[in-house]
Amino acid sequence: ETGVTQTPRHLVMGMTNKKSLKCEQHLGHNAMYWYKQSAKKPLELMFVYSLEERVENNSVPSRFSPECPNSSHLFLHLHTLQPEDSALYLCASSHEMRITGELFFGEGSRLTVL
């Protein structure tokens, strides 16, 4: 298994659908992150989790709902999305949250909202 695994790799959904993105890390890390990467824009940090506790929410709309059931898994629940939410969603992990360390990313989930 690679370090950080994201599923699905591609997702197409309508504005009224409910779907979820999944991230799993096999590195024994304690911190996990969700990022959004839109065309022509730098990476935007969305959520930070440390030991299953959400420690940061960067003004993300409530139609994005994260869940961290344990330190290895992170979900991003999606509902009532808008076409402008179409982007590459990246999950990352690091050993600890407070000690700034190396980030490891997954392959991303390409989301298209129709």
Quick one: which H or E segment has residue 34? strand 31-37
Nearest-angstrom CA–CA distance, 5 and 80: 25
56, 82, 112, 114: which one binds other proteins (CB under 8 A): 56
60, 63, 75, 104: which one binds other proteins (CB under 8 A): 104
| CA neighbor of 73 nearest in space, from 56, 98, 51 | 51
Count of CB atoms situated within 10 Å of the CB of 43: 13
66 scored as a contact of other proteins (CB under 8 A): no
60 scored as a contact of other proteins (CB under 8 A): no
98 scored as a contact of other proteins (CB under 8 A): yes
75 scored as a contact of other proteins (CB under 8 A): no
106 scored as a contact of other proteins (CB under 8 A): yes
Q: How far is the CB of 61 from other proteins (least distance, A)?
A: 19
| Eight-class DSSP state of 44 | E
